[in-house]
Amino acid sequence: MDISLLRIKGDRNNSIEIQWSGANNSLLFVEGKELKEIKPTKQSISKTYETLSFTTNQINLNEPAMFYLITDGYADQFGRNGKKFMKKRLRELIESIYHLEPEIQKNELDRTIQEWMDGVEQTDDISIIGIRLSIENN
């Protein structure tokens, strides 16, 4: 099983500390206007023969940010052309919509994948959790 865990600590009047750890799923986030990616530990949380320690990454926010916890299902979804959507295309899509309200982002993600699939059966779970965090500047 693959997973992403995100811990939010602090308050919006000062700075917010984010701790994140991922098993095979990257963390995408936009801080300011820059899309960033933190790579996961390349290991599932199930039984393995060579157990690795999971890395906990820390991010200190001093400005608003949008976080995306994603499974591989969106990028791995096949379209009518027989090709996968791919992570690069998903990153480009997120870069084009991160500034929109979350409900509009959801609608755009849904519309885009439905157009891509064009009737092709869904092959995996498709999960994206978006979290917008704001910081009050005193």
Q: What is the mean pLDDT of residues 35-60?
A: 88
Q: What is the pLDDT of residue 137?
A: 61
At residue 57 the predicted structure's pLDDT band, cuts being 50, 70 and 90, is very high
Q: What is the pTM of this model?
A: 0.89
- The string of pLDDT tens digits covering residues 113-136 is 999 999 999 999 999 999 999 877
User: Does the structure show a pLDDT above 70 at 47?
Assistant: yes
Query: What structural domains and CATH numbers belong to the chain?
Result: 3-133 (3.60.40.10)
User: How sure is the predictor about 12, in pLDDT bands with cuts at 50, 70 and 90?
Assistant: low
What does the DSSP 8-state code read for residue 46?
Answer: S
Predicted pLDDT at 45: 85
C-alpha angle 74/117/115, rounded to 5°? Answer: 100
Q: d(Cα 28, Cα 35) in Å, to the nearest integer?
A: 7
- What mean pLDDT comes out for the span 41-55? 83
